[in-house]
Amino acid sequence: MVQRQLPKPAEVFELMKFRKIEPNLKKRRLQAALTIEDLRRIAKRRTPAAAFDYTDGGAEGEISMARAVQAFEDVEFHPAILHDVSRVDTSTQVLGGSSALPFGIAPTGFTRLMQTEGEVAGAGAAARAGIPFTLSTLGTTSIEDVKAANPHGRNWFQLYVMRQREISFGLAERAARAGYDTLFFTVDAPVAGARLRDTRNGFSIPPQLGLRTFSNAALRPWWWWDFLTTAKLEFASLSETGGTVGELLDSAMDPSIDFDDLAEIRAMWPGKFAVKGVQTLEDAKKLADVGVDAIVLSNHGGRQLDRAPVPFLLLPEVARELGSDVEIIVDTGIRNGADIVASLALGAKFTLIGRAYLYGLMAGGREGVDRAIAILAEQVVRTMKLLQVGNVEELGPSHVTQLSRFHRQDQERAHSVGR
């Protein structure tokens, strides 16, 4: 029989310990966010539909985007045992410099549309975390202002080659003068992808106040207050600012770029040189042969060609063939620090986060970006400790299996014919 007794008041009061309530609403909602998906839900509540969908959406049926996220979920980890992981080193060397974490911030266009602090918030958060920040050609903060927000950290510049080549060359020269150490030449956007959410929302730069957008925005007055009381939303590096996203891209991008353009831009850039948007092993080999410093396996976050290859699934093949010849960076679909660890294990030197950072920006400005980076960093450390590896160099293919939801039947047939 269980012996019962009346509880003593002092013992009851010991159990009744209430958490201190955070009076700052922004801090409270960000502290409650434990995952990137939590930040996404906050961002959706706080951002007008057109701006949120521009960030959240992909091309056409959004199949590439969904597959990229699913591929990371379809990972099986293989932890070791009895290794000392009381301390874990997440730092790495990439493109001639250091990063405190094995991920950096990817280039994103129209960033101040999501939240008015835009690239300044991203660059400042990257500086605090000791990771690189990448500014887009279609950024809404100037090359020089981003440098001022991250004066002692690593800044990278993403370049589109436009029909007016002198504009592209001038941007590269400005970035070099400002001390950016790496150029990301993007090659997967000869024309704009069909981003149907944007079309349905009537999304344009700058935003237009139609009846639908006005009614949606009326529920989020803080966003419009920020938008209307800060500097005009426009491209910081380009003079063309009016029209839909597709119209702007199609008018600016040059579909005729080729390897001669690659050579010309490489010759004029004094720092490290990476090519972003690589989606086949054959193209990766060509780029390694011409001596680029890094390739970025990317399908533009699923925003260009729908049903394009999933970068994470392409990674092991490229790493086996070229891992000793060129640095391999991966983006698209990363929502968790475990995704970053899995990429490193399968041969990536580094990873880039795009939407994950923007969800934080929309959820809480600069503090939201800090929170997004902190969430991913905590997940990276925890995953490494549970795998029982002490630093990123110890990660290898033995730690990860990619489960086979997506078969590449062309390769299967080729292998069987080869036998």
pLDDT tens digits along 351-390: 999 999 999 999 999 999 999 999 999 999 999 999 999 9
Give the pLDDT band (50/70/90) at residue 137: very high
Say whether pLDDT at 278 is over 90: yes
What pLDDT, on a 0 to 100 scale, did the predictor assign at position 243?
56
What pLDDT, on a 0 to 100 scale, did the predictor assign at position 210?
62
Q: Which region among 51-60, 330-339, 386-395 has the lowest average model confidence (pLDDT)?
A: 51-60
Q: Active-site residue 300, yes or no?
A: yes
Give residues with Cβ within 8 angstroms of 191, minimum separation 6. Answer: 249, 250, 253, 255
Task: Read off the pLDDT of each residue in 17-44 and give the average, rounded to a whole number.
Answer: 90
Whole-number mean pLDDT of the chain? Answer: 89
Are residues 327 and 343 in contact, defined by beta-carbon separation less than 8 angstroms?
A: no
Determine what percent of the chain is predicted with pLDDT higher than 90.
67
Give the pLDDT band (50/70/90) at residue 416: very low
Paired tokens of 131: 């990771």
What pLDDT, on a 0 to 100 scale, did the predictor assign at position 164?
83
**Closest of 319, 338, 113, 121 to residue 231, by C-alpha:** 113
**Closest of 377, 285, 297 to residue 71, by C-alpha:** 297
Give residues with Cβ within 8 angstroms of 386, minimum separation 6. Answer: 77, 79
Paired tokens of 189: 């956007």
Say whether pLDDT at 209 is over 80: no
What pLDDT, on a 0 to 100 scale, did the predictor assign at position 213?
64
Say whether pLDDT at 418 is over 50: no
Cis peptide before 206 (omega within 30 of 0): yes
Task: Read off the pLDDT of each residue in 221-239 and give the average, rounded to a whole number.
Answer: 77
Q: How far apart are CA 71 and CA 404, in angstroms?
A: 9
Q: How far apart are CA 405 and CA 399, in angstroms?
A: 19
Q: What angle do CA 342, 126, 193 make, to 5 degrees?
A: 65
Pairing of strands 75-77, 400-402: antiparallel
Q: Is 226 exposed, middle or buried (0-12, 13-18, 19+ CB in 10 A)?
A: middle
Task: Read off the pLDDT of each residue in 36-49 and give the average, rounded to a whole number.
Answer: 95
Are residues 154 and 97 in contact, defined by beta-carbon separation less than 8 angstroms?
A: yes
- In 160-310, alpha helices (H): 165-177, 196-201, 211-217, 221-228, 245-252, 259-268, 281-289
pLDDT tens digits along 318-347: 999 998 899 999 999 999 999 999 999 999
What pLDDT, on a 0 to 100 scale, did the predictor assign at position 205?
62
Q: Which region among 102-116, 135-149, 239-253 has the lowest average model confidence (pLDDT)?
A: 239-253
Q: What angle do CA 154, 314, 322 make, to 5 degrees?
A: 65
What pLDDT, on a 0 to 100 scale, did the predictor assign at position 409?
54
Catalytic residue (one of 83, 300, 399, 407): 300
Q: Which region among 118-122, 210-214, 299-303 has the lowest average model confidence (pLDDT)?
A: 210-214
Domains of the chain in start order, with CATH, are 30-393 (3.20.20.70)
Enclosing H/E stretch for 218: none
Q: Is 236 helix (H, G, I), strand (E, B) or coil?
A: coil
Determine what percent of the chain is predicted with pLDDT higher than 70.
89
Say whether pLDDT at 238 is over 70: no
Are residues 105 and 131 in contact, defined by beta-carbon separation less than 8 angstroms?
A: yes
pLDDT tens digits along 75-108: 999 999 999 999 999 999 999 999 999 999 999 9
Say whether pLDDT at 132 is over 90: yes
Paired tokens of 17: 């310990």
Give the pLDDT band (50/70/90) at residue 246: low
Q: Chain centroid to CA 364: how far?
A: 17
Using only C-alpha atoms, the chain has a radius of gyration, in whole angstroms, of: 23
What pLDDT, on a 0 to 100 scale, did the predictor assign at position 413?
44
What pLDDT, on a 0 to 100 scale, did the predictor assign at position 207?
62
